[in-house]
Structure 1
Amino acid sequence: MDELSVIIEDARWEALDLDSLAAKAIGAALADRGLDPDGCEVTVLACDDDRIAVLNGDFRDKPVPTNVLSWPAEDRAPGTPGDIPRPPRPGIDGLCELGDIAISYDTCDREAQAARRPMSEHVAHLLVHGVLHLLGYDHETDADAALMEGLEVKILGKMGLDDPYRE
């Protein structure tokens, strides 16, 4: 992915080679949705629980840590639950600006340990999840959640990763 920016605020992320992991996970999600990863712009902020709690409070009025947050550049949500969102359109520069993702090391680490999954696999899942949010998918209704989770499982399967929703 040529237009992927990874900003690492917490040095613990360095051990995961987050640049490569993000390029692979985000690229797989975009390719699955019919988008050229080299034509899409995404920024990832790799932070800790303190930082993501502030962001969650500022943008969602929930000042508590969470695993991943997404800020789409444009609202692409469909009008009907379970429908496919509108695809992004390239801007004047030919790039599809998709938006930003923040991911917390602390919460991801706790969740990966609780699920007995490698941290890299859990992070890949959350980055795919975040990209789908940037593309207009959500999990607010049962129909939307079923669609989004199905896409996550399919994309992760193409990456050789297990279904994160299966115990």
Structure 2
Amino acid sequence: MVEDPDPSDRPTISHRNRATGIEVAVAIKSPKWRSRVLDAEALCHQAVGGVLAVVDPLDVPMEVSVVLADDELLQRLNRESRGVDRPTNVLAFPCDSLGESVPVGAPRMLGDVVVSYDTVSREASPHGTPFADHLRHLVVHGTLHLLDYRHDSGTEAEVMEELEASILAEMGIPDPYADGVALIK
């Protein structure tokens, strides 16, 4: 789980969809998010739900935490977890191994997806990508990482990009890789 620098600064909104068994806990750590996206929690739930509707490895209730932060937190987490001292758009921190057992009826905690407002804004604007669409793309991308999808090799990247494009299409979002200018590296 991502260490919360000040757990009292922003409430965590948790929403469980009883029909799907998906719980998404959204913690907003930067006030910038509220100024740009009024329904960030719903967008995050839609993105996580879109992934788990297509890729549900165990067909059990799942829980994902999404932290909406800023460059400062993402840079610190990137430095501590990957040894890269710069901010990034999204980081994913898997929690449970998919092979481990959990109590019957309990959701499987997949892990945390942490997104930087500042980087999302910088990436989306020059390309004319709607901010909310880029947020959903990054949450889809991060959730796939929680499910062990990677883009380290060309083949892995192709599989992950095709899956992302398919999931985003279900949400009415155009293929972010279609023009060859991917906003996720």
Using the TM superposition, give the Cα deviation of residue 4 of structure 1 relative to its aligned residue in structure 2, in angstroms: 1.2
Match of 2:137 among 125, 136, 152: 125
Alignment match, 1:112: 124
Judging by fraction of residues, say which structure has more helix.
1
1:48 matched to 2:70? yes
Q: Does the 8 A contact of 1:30 with 1:36 survive in 2?
A: no
* In 2: Cα distance, 1:18 partner to 1:90 partner: 31
1:12 matched to 2:23? no
Q: One-letter code of the match for 2:82?
A: R
Deviation string 1:21-71 (CA, Å, 9 cap, x unpaired) is 000111011111146998111111111111110010010000101000001
The number of aligned residues is 156
Q: Does the 8 A contact of 1:88 with 1:96 survive in 2?
A: no
* In 2: Cα distance, 1:8 partner to 1:32 partner: 26
Q: One-letter code of the match for 2:76?
A: V
Change (3 A) 1:120 1:35: farther
* In 2: Cα distance, 1:90 partner to 1:133 partner: 20
Aligned residues: CA RMSD: 2.0
Alignment match, 2:81: 59
Q: Does the 8 A contact of 1:72 with 1:98 survive in 2?
A: yes
Match of 1:27 among 34, 37, 49: 49
**TM-score by structure 1 length?**
0.86
Gapped regions of structure 2 (runs ≥ 5): 1-14, 17-22, 180-185
Q: One-letter code of the match for 1:22?
A: C
Which is further off, 8-17 or 107-116?
Answer: 8-17
Q: Which portions of structure 1, spanning 4 or more consecutive aligned residues, are displaced by more than 6 angstroms?
A: 35-38
Q: Does the 8 A contact of 1:112 with 1:122 survive in 2?
A: yes
**TM-score by structure 2 length?**
0.78
Gapped regions of structure 1 (runs ≥ 5): 76-86
Alignment match, 1:97: 109
* In 2: Cα distance, 1:36 partner to 1:124 partner: 23
Alignment match, 2:162: 150
